[in-house]
Amino acid sequence: MPDPEILEPTDAIIRVQTAAICGSDLHLYHGTIPGLLPGSVIGHEYVGVVEETGSQVRRFKKGDRVVGAFHVACGSCPMCRRDLYHQCTSGGVLGYGVAFGNLQGTQAEYARIPYADETLRRVPEELTDEQALFSGDILTTAYGAVVNSGLKPGETVAVIGCGPVGIMAVQSALVLGASRVFAVDLLKERTALAEKLGAVPVPAGEVNPVSHITRMTDGEGVDAVIEAVGGSKTIQLAFELVRGGGRISAIGVTSESTFEYPLMNSLTKDITFRIGLANIHRDIDTTLSLVRSGRIDPTVVISHRLPLEQAPEGYRLFDQRKASKVILQVT
């Protein structure tokens, strides 16, 4: 691929140092998100060094080490002015095809970052690339989902799915004051990692998560559920785990266009159901601060570090769940 060039005065070109493969990239890998044109560069988790800035970029200069949000936002449209950066009327997702703005991605040596002043953050000097990297996506996605669940200190939480996003949700819920976090996954090694971080493991291959969690919450169910898998099956499970008056916050991506909403159950139980793409710009400064202070360690999910040339192998391992999170070392 040719190196990207500045197209708009608000663009920056960054030299990518560290990238990662995200669970969301697997949807492209399997072709379940349509609209990826041949010859597209994918990837949207990145830390790099600013190489060049457009004439209107004010906050960054050549040489700054930066982490960026996986989606871009202009910062001045009516949606951005409401802090709904993920709803920006001229936004998009890096490396996610025509349905998401047809922007090239960051699993590459260089990347063009639109609206650089809004999209990028300087990486604090004491943080490594890997520590900062996930604030641009999975950590802030998970943190935002917990914020969206309206969690109050002392409440109980169930996190469905302990992939990298779920593990970040476990850490975020604990930092935000959850008394107990139940970590549900089919893979036992994933619930075991959640347990190490302070969660109650619920290996769904061995125990029935509904009866297990219901019993451990004295028959009530949990105050809040974070759904971090994607699809109707686990959203259905969320409705079975939540207590009366509780909240569900779903972030899993799915290509299913509908699911059967449990109308009577949520009417009588008074359930709040929330779903949406992550609003990284809203929470990225918070997650960077939490990482900087040591209260969250996002690097615990990393299992593989590969040079960029071995990205196909990285995708294979990640897809087969032999890797929990793959870092692509670019330079």
Q: Contact positions toward ligand NAD, by CB under 6 A?
A: 22-24, 26-27, 137-138, 141, 160-166, 184-187, 190, 204, 228-230, 233-234, 251-253, 277-278
Neighbours of 55 (CB within 10 A): 9
For 172, the 3-state DSSP assignment is: helix
Q: Which single residue is written with the structure tokens 């989606």?
A: 71
Q: Which single residue is written with the structure tokens 């994918």?
A: 42
Q: In the complex, what is the shortest distance from the CB of residue 47 to ligand NAD, in angstroms, rounded to a whole number?
A: 17
Q: In the complex, what is the shortest distance from the CB of residue 273 to ligand NAD, in angstroms, rounded to a whole number?
A: 15
Which of 129, 137, 155, 185 touches Zn ion (CB under 5 A)? 137
Measured from the CB atom, the residue of 69 and 181 that comes closer to Zn ion is 69
Question: How distant, in Å, are the alpha carbons of 22, 95, 100, 120, 164 from that of 12?
Answer: 23, 16, 19, 9, 28
Measured from the CB atom, the residue of 35 and 154 that comes closer to ligand NAD is 35
Beta strands per DSSP E along 31-171: 45-53, 65-68, 71-72, 92-93, 110-113, 120-122, 156-160
Measured from the CB atom, the residue of 14 and 184 that comes closer to ligand NAD is 184
Which partner, ligand NAD, Zn ion, none, binds residue 120 by CB below 5 to 8 Å per kind?
A: none
End-to-end CA distance of the chain: give it in Å, rounded: 17
Cβ-contact 101, 42 below 8 angstroms: no
Structure tokens at 14: 């960054």
Q: In the complex, what is the shortest distance from the CB of residue 134 to Zn ion, in angstroms, rounded to a whole number?
A: 10
Q: In the complex, what is the shortest distance from the CB of residue 86 to ligand NAD, in angstroms, rounded to a whole number?
A: 7
Q: Which H or E run contains 266?
A: helix 263-269
Site for Zn ion contains 24 (CB under 5 A): yes
Site for Zn ion contains 181 (CB under 5 A): no
Beta bridge partners of 83: none
Closest CA to 224 of 189, 192, 179, 276: 179
Cβ-contact 194, 166 below 8 angstroms: yes
Measured from the CB atom, the residue of 205 and 219 that comes closer to ligand NAD is 205
Q: In the complex, what is the shortest distance from the CB of residue 57 to ligand NAD, in angstroms, rounded to a whole number?
A: 25
Measured from the CB atom, the residue of 104 and 141 that comes closer to ligand NAD is 141
Which partner, ligand NAD, Zn ion, none, binds residue 43 by CB below 5 to 8 Å per kind?
A: none
Measured from the CB atom, the residue of 24 and 53 that comes closer to Zn ion is 24
Q: In the complex, what is the shortest distance from the CB of residue 284 to ligand NAD, in angstroms, rounded to a whole number?
A: 13
**Mask for 87-126, x = binds Zn ion (CB under 5 A):** ----------------------------------------
**Backbone torsion region of residue 95, taken as left when φ is above 0, otherwise alpha when ψ lies between -120 and 50, otherwise beta:** left
Site for Zn ion contains 53 (CB under 5 A): no
Site residues, Zn ion (CB under 5 A): 22, 24, 137
